[in-house]
Amino acid sequence: METATFGAGCFWGVEARFRQRPGVIETAVGYEGGALENPTYKDVCTDRTGHAEVVQVVFDPAAVGYQELLDLFFDLHDPTQRNRQGPDWGSQYRSVVFFHSPRQEELAKAAIAALTASGRFGRPIVTQVAPAQTFWRAEEYHQKYLEKRGAASCHI
């Protein structure tokens, strides 16, 4: 099994979409990339901790490749919006790939270069590519949030 971590705005809808992908074994929502130890949702929502809302994905690379997960990530959000997605704004909603290996870093940067060259988005991609840091699991009520409420999706 391998781990991938993506920030693409509000983590509820992003998690739900990754959970649907065959080959994804487990997902968890949380916070990564900030300075505060053990942040809470309330802390992160102040936009002062430096954390992004992220989805950590455990996947079987024999069933789904990291490139396929990157493709889904870029399909789920607008990577040209800095520190916002839809109605949500603040650095916690930034577009970010936290890589867990040199190969993941290479693939993420290559995906951004290919998307930029394709002109698909029409504006510069602002997605950050950064080494994985401490993943702080979000409060339990955020885990599988949409599934718990019988909702198929949110605004993403």
- Strand order in 52-59's β-sheet? 128-131, 95-99, 2-8, 52-59, 24-32, 136-137
d(CA 67, CA 98): 14
Give which of 146, 150, 67 is closest to 110, Cα–Cα: 67
Active-site pick, 4, 8, 10, 28: 10
Is-catalytic flag, 10? yes
Contact 45, 8 (CB under 8 A): no
Q: Give the pairing type, strands 95-99 and 128-131.
A: parallel
> Measured between alpha carbons, how far is 79 from 60 in angstroms, rounded to an integer?
26
Q: Catalytic residue numbers? A: 10
